[in-house]
Amino acid sequence: MALAPLDHDALRAALEAASLRCTPQRLAVYDQLSRELRHPTAEDVFHAVRLTIPKISLATVYKALEALVEIGAATRLTAADGTGSARYDARSEAHYHFRCLRTGSVYDLPTRFDPALVSKLDPHLEEDLARQGFRVTGYRLELIGYRDQASLAAHPRHQAEAPSGPAIRPFLSDGNENQG
């Protein structure tokens, strides 16, 4: 149920509605991000986009990614412990992640998102929090562990390669579950 990436007209409209400029660089950054499978850092996007736009700077890529976050076309992912570079995700609908603690790569999980998971953990949690002044607007779930090197070699497309098509590949469905 991955949503198709935004086309350039939709992206332009969303940027301009937020008083943000729609530049060829920003379109290229979005296109690269929507093709990526492992939730790249700004540096990753910079190195990829530079192949087609040699004069683009890392600062421009950063600003483009933050503009995409601002209009909701991308999400910024940071590790729960605050370490490592921020990663970016062009997939807009709610989904779960797996983070490799060795490489920092983040993968989409093929599991259906459950909006009621928090109440299954604790049916009273949201009420209790509301009484204390906290309003829950959502949740994020990230599994952590290690992706073993053998599966990386066997399935290189889960690495930096960016095949066209929806930016989701169920990596746990290949029978090669990682060993921690």
Q: Which one, 91 or 169, has the nearer CB to Zn ion? A: 91
97 forms beta bridges with 108, 142
The span of 44-52, 108-116, 129-137, 146-154 binding Zn ion (CB under 5 A) equals 108-116
Task: Give the nearest residue (CB) to Zn ion.
Answer: 89
Give least dist CB 171 to Zn ion, A.
12
Beta-strand (E) ranges in 42-179?
75-77, 87-89, 97-100, 106-108, 142-145
How many CA within 13 A on the CB side of residue 93?
16
Binding status of residue 36 toward Zn ion by CB under 5 A: no
Q: How far apart are CA 84 and CA 82, in angstroms?
A: 7
Based on the shown chain and the rule CB under 5 A, indicate whether residue 44 belongs to the binding site for Zn ion.
Answer: no
Considering only residues 69 to 98 of the shown chain, the ones binding Zn ion according to CB under 5 A are: 89, 91
Instruction: Please say whether the beta carbons of 169 and 158 come within 8 A.
Output: yes
Number of residues that bind Zn ion (CB under 5 A): 3
CA–CA distance, 4 with 167 (Å, rounded to integer) = 9
Report, in angstroms and rounded to the nearest whole number, the Rg of the chain calculated over CA atoms: 18
Kindly tell me which of 26 and 91 has the beta carbon lying closer to Zn ion: 91
Nearest distance, CB of residue 157 and Zn ion, angstroms? 16
Can you give the binding site for Zn ion, defined by CB under 5 A?
Answer: 89, 91, 108
